[in-house]
Structure 1
Amino acid sequence: MTPPEFSRPIDRRQLSPAPLSLSATREERAALAHRFALVSIGRLEAIVTLTADGDVVNAAGSLAAEWVQPCAISGEDLPQKASESLALRFVPTTGAQAPDEEVELTAADLDEIEYTGHTFDLGEAIAQSLALAIDPFAAGPEADRARKEAGILGESASGPFAALAGLKLPKE
């Protein structure tokens, strides 16, 4: 198993009340760009405060990132950025279910990241938060031109409501 590109292991037994500042190196950003199929990541930073509640660790803070991704339509470079709030919850692995067992999740379970032992990877959680901030269908200013050249976009309206446009009643 390959280690995460942006790994920042944290031992829950050594938490500090001071906020942590994490910043990905050039090499880490390049590796994450490759993982997320981006042209490049120019900035990935987070400020996070960790608080323990027994074996559970809550992380609250913010993520700031800038990247370049290919336009989903034309493939041109499309600069993007995100400034996101972070609210993560690291919980010890329970190991209660079998690999093929059906599990019902509650809303509270959806924001939990399991860890084993005393250490969790805050950097990987930040990287996954970045992945969620990336719009896989982002379209740049040349998208309509590319659609037209490919014959996807004609002179008339397109999309799910295009057929409805023809049903308008004539004005009297």
Structure 2
Amino acid sequence: MPPELTLPEFHRPVPLGTVGQAGRRLALEATPEECAALAGRLGILDLASLTASLQLLPEEGGSVRVEGRLVARLTQACVVSLDPVGQAVDEEIAFRLLPPGREPQDGPDDIDEIESPDGIADLGEALAELLALALDPYPRAPAAELPAEAGGAVTGGFAALAALRRKG
């Protein structure tokens, strides 16, 4: 029995052949259910909204350049207090969708390239990955303060030894 395929939480397939010579505009929006599933996958408290406005432009060789804006409202846990921290993501994005058989370039100045082995790109999954990269890795509530022992201060029985070491 073949393994069951699981679709990503925010699945928006686009066949590269449907872009056309003039290009194509798309507006994508995650449903509340998709947002909840993505929040679980990303390890955040809440994803209130995720939208993108995209322009798909055909390029030579069958690739498609995608440009647009990714906008999301979400809540992460503060790394100090675990209190909810509201975040907003509003970023310009650009990447290239590659036709079947084409390998991505991996240079530091190259635009991100996404393979489409069957000629169908999942724009929702691409946006989910871009959102993951845009998340604040250390969200912190405005009033959250680290405890003294976390700041590198030496306390307890070793404090006196540390003081002697500094004098010498």
**Same-fold call, TM > 0.5?**
yes
Alignment partner, residue 41 of structure 1 = 47
Identical pairs, percent? 36
Alignment check: 8 A CA contact 1:74 1:142 kept = no
Alignment partner, residue 51 of structure 1 = 57
Count of aligned positions = 148
Q: How does 1:84-163 map to 2 (within 5 A)?
A: 84-94=91-101, 105-107=106-108, 109=110, 111-144=112-145, 147-148=146-147, 151-153=149-151
| Cα distance in structure 1, aligned partners of 2:102 and 2:13 | 21
SS at match of 1:38: coil
> Which of these residues, 76, 79, 82, is aligned with residue 86 of structure 2?
79
Q: How does 1:4-83 map to 2 (within 5 A)?
A: 4-15=8-19, 17-53=23-59, 54-83=61-90
| Structure 2 length-normalised TM | 0.78
Q: CA deviation at 1:107?
A: 2.7
| Cα distance in structure 2, aligned partners of 1:49 and 1:37 | 29
Q: Give the 3 Å change call, closer, same or farther, for CA 114–134 of structure 1 in structure 2.
A: same
Alignment check: 8 A CA contact 1:12 1:120 kept = yes
Q: Give the 3 Å change call, closer, same or farther, for CA 120–137 of structure 1 in structure 2.
A: same
Q: CA deviation at 1:8?
A: 0.3
Q: CA deviation at 1:127?
A: 0.7
Q: CA deviation at 1:15?
A: 1.4
